[in-house]
A and B are shown apart, each in its own frame.
Chain A
Amino acid sequence: MTALLPRRGLAQILALIVILAVDRVVSPQFFDLRLQDGRLFGSLIDVLNRGTPVALLSLGMVLVIATRGIDLSVGAVMAICGAIAASLADTHGLPVVLAAALGAGLVCGLWNGFLVAVLGMQPIVATLILMVAGRGIAQLITEGRIVTFSSPDLVWLGNGSVLGLPVPVVIALGMLILTGAVVRGSALGLLIEATGGNARASELAGVGTRAMIIAVYVWCGVCAALAGVIAAADIMGADANNAGLWLELDAILAVVIGGTSLFGGRFSLVLAVLGALIIQTMNTGILLSGYPPEFNLLVKAGVVLAVLLLQSPKLSGFAGIATRLRGTKA
């Protein structure tokens, strides 16, 4: 029984199923899929495609949160890297564009990591600096305009397809597998959790907590850079004022919905990505429902509250009693 239904993740999967069912009710054609120009077309694909930026952000964010940190700058980093990619796209090849954008993300992550791990700043304050300054940097790069490009290579990153799936979805899947392989295929994940659980004890036990913290911020920066490039490629332009705006909050929400505590320690990559999908499934459902937009935020808040209630220790305590009762009967 416990093997079939893992305790961790049950609430999230349940929430996703319920929201999908509600989407089906408000929009009968929700699960319809067809091929359009060699690419799958339908609301489900929209959910995956539109959920990609937040899913990518949550992959970095979950590691940062696991070390008891937080990164508020990811939205601004998206804007910076999207701006860099867009301004280079028509004059340079894709490898140069990607290297420059991801490099910028890496530098942003290093900066955050330096402030937190070396200077010992509070993560929320340290990353707030780049959150504010970063959008300014992005606006300087684009000179306040929307920089458009027509480079087919970069456009493909946002709008192309691989085996019928949108390229962004494939990239996000690849990043999930890569991140999972690195942190769970080695002791790295455990060391990150140890750092978040008790940094002082881990330090004394020989864990390089400073290196761990810098590493997770760097990874978070790289993930944000990738999300920024995809967001720019999607609209064939870099919009420094709006790219990634408030997405740091969605990313944090995705991680929290995924059951990772803001106090650090145990984390789950898959559930964080599932959290991002839950958010997007709800967003797409709201758009399809045809309700006036004044209700959007209200509905969103209600659903988030419900999902988090589903995970609250008190409620799962009741569920635990029920399981134990069943266990004694068997």
Chain B
Amino acid sequence: MTLKALFAASATAALLLALPANAGQLTIGFSQIGSESGWRAAETSVSKQEASKRQVNLKIADAQQKQENQIKAIRSFIAQNVDAIFLAPVVSTGWDSVLKEAKEAKIPVVLLDRDIDPSGKELYLTAVTSDSVHEGEVAGDWLAKTVGTKPCNIVELQGTVGASVATNRKKGFDTAVAKHANLKVVRSQTGDFTRAKGKEVMESFIKAEGGGKNICAVYAHNDDMMVGAIQAMKEAGLKPGKDILTVSIDAVPDIFKAMVAGEANATVELTPNMAGPALDAVAAFKDKGTVPPKWIQTESKLYTAADDPQKIYDSKKGLGY
């Protein structure tokens, strides 16, 4: 008898505790691409953190890099009548019909990290992405400021040929560097965004430029290629970070490890926190009906050795990069 009473009491208590949280709690479905890269894994874990910080119930569906899985996930989110849908589109086209279904169900869709084609249409509420041209500019501006008026020969490790991120990061960097006559990109070759190719290409740059003596700085379109390039410089008897300046993009944990060791100089962050601004936009839209701009640009923050790289490394290490 007493046991039953205890049960009843605890059940009521649980209900009471749960109620206030449930009342205004948003449920959001997130169709994530899959585990294509460390950055993607970090984005997933940061999204979870940001959702729990705001007491949002975030349902993540892993699409394993397949558009049909994403479309299925979006349809199931619509069937569950979620409050909003986050979509990190694996490809840019072919979303019209499923996004129309979401629109008819009056569920706002927010794009994360990548835009779709045609962009800026009324099919989605807003897109939270980084401006990769701007990322390249930040990298170029840092280099120009650091080098000053000295002449500087730059070698560039490009991303995969034809990838829009690579094209944009090159464009931004070129724009920034073109403003300074003393800066010159002397060699530019693709390292396919990978460590192994970054290392191989840097090895050839070093040989082609007098054992590395003619190189003043390396710019890599991502940190992974830079990690490979740093190894190549060390094996050639050069001191990366001192003999040759380094600047790359992404801000993955391993580049901070290199920064702690004094072997890397700067990195521009592609923040894994796309969900934070998206959640805020959805909350404002739901509460006050504020319509966000079609594009929310995330910050491209520059990190150097002055930013306590050890601390950043520790904070980023557990995110799944």
Contacts and interface: CB of A to CB of B under 8 A. Distances in A.
A139 B41 CA distance: 12
Interface in A234-256: 234-237, 239, 241-243
A148 interface: yes
A27 B194 contact: no
Interface in A121-153: 139, 143-146, 148
A284 B204 CA distance: 7
A293 B231 CA distance: 22
Interface of B (DSSP majority class): helix
Contacts of B99: none
B196 A242 contact: yes
B178 interface: no
Contacts of B41: 143-145
Contacts of B118: none
A46 B211 CA distance: 13
Contacts of B13: none
Which of A39, A42, A43 has the most chain B CB atoms inside 10 A of its CB? A43
Contacts, number: 88
Contacts of A36: 235-237
Given A27-B207, A46-B207, A235 B254 contact: no
A41 to B, nearest CB: 7
A219 B228 CA distance: 30
B203 A235 contact: no
A296 interface: yes
A235 B195 contact: yes
B40 interface: yes
Contacts of A145: 38, 41, 320-321
A198 interface: no
A320 to B, nearest CB: 39
Could you say which interface size class chain A belongs to? 35 or more
Nearest to A240: B35
Interface residues of B, number: 35
A148 B207 contact: no
Given A144-B38, A242-B192, A293-B190, A43 B207 contact: yes
Nearest to B34: A144
B236 A41 contact: yes
B187 A290 contact: yes
Nearest to A26: B208
A159 B233 CA distance: 13
Interface of A: 27, 29, 32, 36-37, 39, 41-43, 46, 50, 139, 143-146, 148, 159, 231, 234-237, 239, 241-243, 284, 287-288, 290, 292-294, 296
Closest 6 CB pairs of A and B: A144-B35, A287-B204, A293-B190, A235-B195, A242-B194, A145-B38
11 contacts: A27-B208, A32-B207, A148-B254, A234-B199, A235-B199, A235-B228, A236-B231, A287-B189, A288-B204, A290-B208, A293-B190
